[in-house]
Structure formats: structure tokens, C-alpha cells
Structure 1
């Protein structure tokens, strides 16, 4: 019997270990995490979540996951409206809070020479006073979190400003870079964050951030023509292509029709032969939502 919904898969690999995480979606608002040991080719099923989930990155060692999530309720009609628009492929009218400039600071000082500079202008003024730790934002239905895969239970999470902030990537096993404003970098810690783990803010003016993105972009663009050709042939053969994920080992992993396929030495295989030469590794259709508590080891940073 054919299931009444599509099963969609997304794969994220660890950069320095033979590990990956699979995000399974289906039905529409049900998400499931699966840990994948590439060395032994074994899968560990984890927690489910209802809402919306996007995988951001897996730490180089593969033991921590950064993800973005949203859950909407009747008490949050605006967030629910925005979330539905994005799920349907539409963009709500953009809103960006206006930040003061240095010119605004100088104008304020000129108009009010005896008044104290407002707090929201102090960061722009170049004051050398150390900033006070900001309290974390309230959770308004959208957040970014770090967890131990295959579990969603967060070690730490950062409430997002609607859909305008959130997400990020791992720079190393001990540093995460977030697409957040300065007032959103303080986490809600379910487990106390070790002092050796650092949280940085993404900035286009930061050379390190630009290098990070250049490295990630180069790997994708190098393989793009081959992947496009393979994708076209798979679609023509009737497959629901959800992701083509080339691995540095030379194997092409493919998420097709809710299952994972593998093709070794894929660059030597003509695009029209990809489908018939690929081996089905696992099929994740037919799974159902179930509640699962995280084990104690999933709620530790190390």
C-alpha cells in the first residue's frame, strides 16, 4: 500500500569523521533525526519533532548538530502566518530594525551635550567599556539549537528574531558562528556550556567569515555540472530527487523517493547510467511519529 504522503530526506556530513545526519520529513510537519555511521553503514533512529526543521551544520567530529526550528501556536498568529508563507515558497514583506550610525551618535551628542548617550547607541560610539552580558531573548516560536544527534533535545538554544535571524555553521568542534544580531548571541542553556566552546557572530566585514563561505562555496561549485547532469537523468527516470550529496571519499549518496542510494566512484559513471548502477542503502518510508526521551549521554557537551 502506498503511503499518502511524500517522505523527504536531507543529508549533512561531518567534515572530519565518517559520520552523517539524516533529516527525514513526512508527513508534512513531522521531522525525524537519524544518525549514520558511514564506516559501518549503520543507522541510529532518534527523536521526532513536529513543526519545521532545517539542518544547518554538523560539527567536524560529527558529535554535535546545529539546526533551526520553528513551532507555531494559536497565540502567535503573526509567526504562524509568516511560517506558512515560507512553507509555501512565498516571502513575507521584509522588515529589518534600523540601527543607529556613527553620524546619529555625533548628532545626538551635539544636540544634547549634557545628556548620557543612550544604551542602544553605545556600541556604535566606539566606547571601550566592556559590554554587559545580555539576557537571552524570549522564545517566540523560532530558534537555533545545538544538540547531540540523533536527538533534537537542545544543549543550548538561541531564540531567533522571527525568520530574519537564525542558523549558522561550525567553524570547529569548539566554535559555532551564528547568523544572529548582537542581542541574540546569549543562549538559553539546558546544559551549562563549557568555557572552551565559543559562539561568534557572522559578519560580512570579518575576513574569517568570508573565507569560511568561500571554502564552502568552492566545494559545491566544483561538482555542480556533474550533479546537474546526474539529477536530470534521475528525474527523467522517474525518481523524486531530494538531494545529491557527493562525499570526499568519491561516493555519491542520493536521497531518492525517501531512500538512500550510494554510487562509488560516481564521476566515472555516465549520467544516464547513475540510476541503474546505484545501490539502495536504506529505505526510510513507512516510519511513524513516536515520543522518545534523550539518554543521559545526549545531554552532555562532551
Structure 2
């Protein structure tokens, strides 16, 4: 049996939009636009290679995506790995920074038009409407910077455990894990989530959850190639709504409209 698609989501901070990065099979990634106002979806583009989800970001207005990709074409102008900025939910680069390894790469948006890139110094091309600024030295790289910017706080000084305040007295707890997991289909780095009630200490597990976040008053999360949502109540999660199942998507060549 094939493994389900793996999903990671980037939510725009100031707009009802998001981008879903769908991985599967292992050598293919698809970027999908999410209109959170009506829970509709738009397939953007596919990439043959690997996108490192934890090194990606979405601009506050949801218009631009920054991502770090590996395609292994080491003799090409992108040196086999690169950081790119595109117009979400597409992947065609409007700014492009060759990296050449996986030690660095990726970036974060500081506002709608200002961003920072980790590692790469020289650009193959840059969009004149976007401004790059020097990298700030966040411990944990782009992922930690994005979490802290979006309201997550480290727990007891642990850089691998974060909590995000949620409605009805709950917090969403994220644990960053690494190693060789026992779960088939999981990579060296993965995330685990639970809900924690501040007053009672009660823990509400989110089994098999790959990514979770808050969209207003509802919790949204991915599991086995599906995107789900539920309202938070004092007792925990309300009824779960399946927003989309992306398992049936298959690679296709698509042109960006720019």
C-alpha cells in the first residue's frame, strides 16, 4: 500500500489564505492554494524534488511564498538546491538564490515586501518589488523565527517545544522531533501536536497529526493526506469537518500565470 500524502500548511497572518505543501511520492511536491474564507482550493504547481517545509514562509498578505528546494542538479545554475520566492500558490521563481547544499537555505518574511534569506548570498534574479535584508541570527533558523513571529512561545526554555494560545483555555503544543522514527513514511524531522488545557492540565491528543494551526476559533490540522477542522470548546474539540482529501492528486505539468 502506498503511503498517504504528507501535508504541511503555511497560513497567511493578515489574509484568509494559505498554502498547502503536499509531498508524495517522495520525489514530488505540489503547492496548493487555500481560500480559508470558503475552504476552496487551487492546485498551483508541482516540483520534482524536495521542498523543506520548515524553511518556508508565506507573506502576511498571502501573495508570496518563500521556499527552499532540493533537486540534486548540482551542475545547474541553482547548484542543486536553492531558495526561491514565488507568487502563491505557484512555484515559478521571481527571486532565486542558489544554495548548493542543505546546511543553509530558506527564509522568512518580515512584512509583505521585506524578507530575509538564510545561507545564500548571490542572487540569480530578484523581484524589484521585494526587498531582502540581512539575516537575523535566530536560533533554530527560519522555522523557529516563523514560529516565534506567529505567536508560538518556547516552553520552559526548550527550543524543541512550543505552545500557541488557543480559544477556551487551551494551548496547542508543538514538539519538534528528529531521529529515525518507527512510523513508516516519516522523515528524519517531524512534528507532534497535542492540545493542553492551562487550568486543568488536561491533554487532548491529536493522533497521527502531521501539522496543526489555528484559523480563528477553529483548529485546523493535517492527517494522512487530509485537511481537517473543528471548533474548540471547553471540553475539547467539537465535531470534525473534513475540508479536503489530497491523496488522489497526481503529478502534472502546470504553467504559472506570470
SS in 2 for 1:43: strand
SS in 2 for 1:67: strand
Paired residues of 2:80 and 2:100 also in contact (CA < 8 A) = no
SS in 2 for 1:228: strand
Partner of 1:29: 27
Query: What is the deviation of 1:260?
Result: 0.8
Closer, same or farther: CA 211–193 of 1 in aligned 2, 3 Å? closer
SS in 2 for 1:293: coil
Give the whole-Å Cα distance in 1 for the aligned partners of 2:51 and 2:149: 25
- Paired residues for 1:65-144 under 5 Å: 65-73=65-73, 138-144=77-83
Unaligned regions of 5+ residues in structure 1, if any?
A: 77-136, 297-302
- Aligned: 1:218 with 2:147: no
Partner of 1:228: 194
Give the whole-Å Cα distance in 1 for the aligned partners of 2:131 and 2:7: 30
The equivalent position to 2:12 in structure 1, one of 4, 11, 14, is: 14
Query: What is the deviation of 1:215?
Result: 3.5
Paired residues of 1:185 and 1:201 also in contact (CA < 8 A) = no
Partner of 1:42: 40
Give the whole-Å Cα distance in 2 for the aligned partners of 1:15 and 1:68: 20
Partner of 1:150: 89
Q: Which fold has the larger relative contact order, with Cα–Cα distance below 8 Å and residues 6 or more apart in sequence?
A: 1
**TM-score under structure 2 normalisation?**
0.74
Closer, same or farther: CA 6–50 of 1 in aligned 2, 3 Å? same
- Aligned: 1:174 with 2:113: yes
Query: What is the deviation of 1:244?
Result: 1.4
| Bigger proportion of residues as helix | 1
Max Rg structure: 1
Paired residues of 2:52 and 2:68 also in contact (CA < 8 A) = yes
**TM-score under structure 1 normalisation?**
0.64
